[in-house]
Amino acid sequence: MKVLVSVIGLSFITDLLVNIGIMDEPEPLPEIEFMSYEVEYVTIEDVAIQFLPRFQEIDGVTFINDILYVSEVVGLPETFDPGLSPEVEAAYEEMRTDALEFDLNFVITSDYRSYTGQEEIYNDMLAVYGTVEETNNWVNQPGFSEHQSGLAIDVGSYESWELQEMPFGFTPESEWVAENAHNYGFIIRYPEGYEDVTGMSYEPWHLRYIGVEHATAVYESGETLEHYLNLVDEDGNVNIPDEYVDYEENTQQ
């Protein structure tokens, strides 16, 4: 028998074939579970939030993406006087203790500085180097030092600092801290090869605290805090909006 299927419903034909004994009662079809999806629409503004730095100034202190930011052009108020952050102290102590297990002996060689303290150091270095340009390669002008933020420390080893046997950059401690500081929330703030971005010469001893999550991201990128904050353009220039730049204050002669 030929069965012509045209406008007759498939269910009707199946029932007919069963009734006349041509086919057995079919097994019931399994229930089909339809999945639903929530569609999230992304706007240009959403994309911008992810990739553009978010600036905020609180009492003269600049934050970018909620990270306190200080550089050769973005300064701190002269009255800003937080002292060394307890969080930084705790993170350093944990790092120092862990390093002792590898026979590595860290010491803090410099931590928080007031505006006046930074001014004294800068003037001493200016007398040594002779010019503002050369001095600025090695020490920040008062108001522009991360040490004034209370979130930066300089570290040394017992051999490099106490015994003066070798520069810190050649010690086992320097190698260890470069690979492990991020686990405690620190980054090497002025890494080698990025002097044009940071405005500072390579300082393997200068650690900036930004928290473990941020520090790990910076470490894994192999770049600078400026790169992490999306401040660096494709030509390697650091872009800071004019309203956050303190050029006029950074003109000590």
- Render pLDDT for 214-229 as a digit per residue (tens, 0 to 9): 999 999 999 999 999 9
Model pTM score: 0.78
Over range 147-173, report the average pLDDT: 88
Asked whether residue 47 is domain-assigned, the answer is no
Does 47 or 51 have the greater pLDDT score? Answer: 51
Assess whether pLDDT exceeds 60 at residue 58.
yes
Report pLDDT for 21: 64
- Render pLDDT for 15-46 as a digit per residue (tens, 0 to 9): 666 667 666 666 666 666 656 666 565 554 45
Report pLDDT for 2: 46
CATH number, residue 153: 3.30.1380.10
Asked whether residue 136 is domain-assigned, the answer is yes
Confidence of residue 167 (pLDDT cuts 50, 70, 90): confident
Assess whether pLDDT exceeds 60 at residue 7.
no
Report pLDDT for 247: 61
Q: Name the active-site residue from 119, 203, 223, 249.
A: 203
Report pLDDT for 42: 52
Domain count along the chain: 1
In which domain, by residue range, is 233 found?
Answer: 54-249
- Render pLDDT for 59-81 as a digit per residue (tens, 0 to 9): 999 999 999 999 999 999 999 99
Asked whether residue 154 is domain-assigned, the answer is yes
- Render pLDDT for 178-209 as a digit per residue (tens, 0 to 9): 999 999 999 999 999 999 999 999 999 999 99
pLDDT-wise least confident of 5-9, 102-106, 175-179: 5-9
Three-class DSSP labels, the chain:
CCCCCCCCCHHHHHHHHHHCCCCCCCCCCCCCCCCCCCCCCCCHHHHHHHHCCCEEEECCEEEECCEECCCCCCCCCCCCCCCCCHHHHHHHHHHHHHHHCCCCCEEEEECCCCHHHHHHHHHHHHHHHCCHHHHHCCCCCCCCCHHHHCCEEEEEEHHHHHCCCCCHHHCHHHHHHHHHHHHHCEEEEECCCCHHHHCCCCEEEEEEECCHHHHHHHHHHCCCHHHHCCCECCCCCECCCHHHCCHHHCCCC
Report pLDDT for 160: 76
Asked whether residue 14 is domain-assigned, the answer is no
Q: What percent of the chain has pLDDT over 90?
A: 70
Asked whether residue 91 is domain-assigned, the answer is yes
Asked whether residue 204 is domain-assigned, the answer is yes
Report pLDDT for 192: 96
Q: Is residue 203 annotated as a catalytic residue, yes or no?
A: yes
Assess whether pLDDT exceeds 90 at residue 253.
no
Asked whether residue 32 is domain-assigned, the answer is no
Does 249 or 124 have the greater pLDDT score? Answer: 124
Asked whether residue 5 is domain-assigned, the answer is no
